[in-house]
Amino acid sequence: MLEPLFESYYVDRFPVAFHTGEASYLDREHHSELNEEVYLKHEADENYAAAWEETPLVMKLGTQYLLVHPHDDVPEGTLAVPDRVADEINQTETEQPVFIAKKGTAHRLARFLSGRIA
């Protein structure tokens, strides 16, 4: 359940799956729901909203910032992350706490992080 945390973040919990790639993914439907809640909920401009539809969510898992993209092959509600993130979390927990950057923070972080992380 997406809950506000501080001025710049929400917090939620996700089951995490690891893969050998470099990008991070969330199933398309869940990504779309979160994207709407985080970036578009109070946005009246339809052109702006359309531009943000496929925008990666900026999440922090452990100490790693991730640009999370929608993907059709990820199990529902699961956050799929690169293997390199495995050491960053307590793998005995079935769901991991994840910080999700709110719109303004996400925009600044995405510009800074693009090309540097997945």
Q: Per-residue pLDDT tens for 58-86?
A: 999 999 999 999 999 999 999 999 998 88
**What's the pTM value of the predicted model, to 2 decimals?**
0.82
Longest dimension (CA), the chain: 43
Residue pLDDT, tens place only, 89-109 = 777 778 999 999 988 888 788
As a whole number of angstroms, the distance between CA 2 and CA 4 comes to 7
Two tokens, residue 9 = 């973040």
Residue 18 exposure: Cα atoms within 13 Å on the Cβ side: 11
Walk me through the domains of the chain, giving residue ranges and CATH numbers: 3-113 (2.40.40)
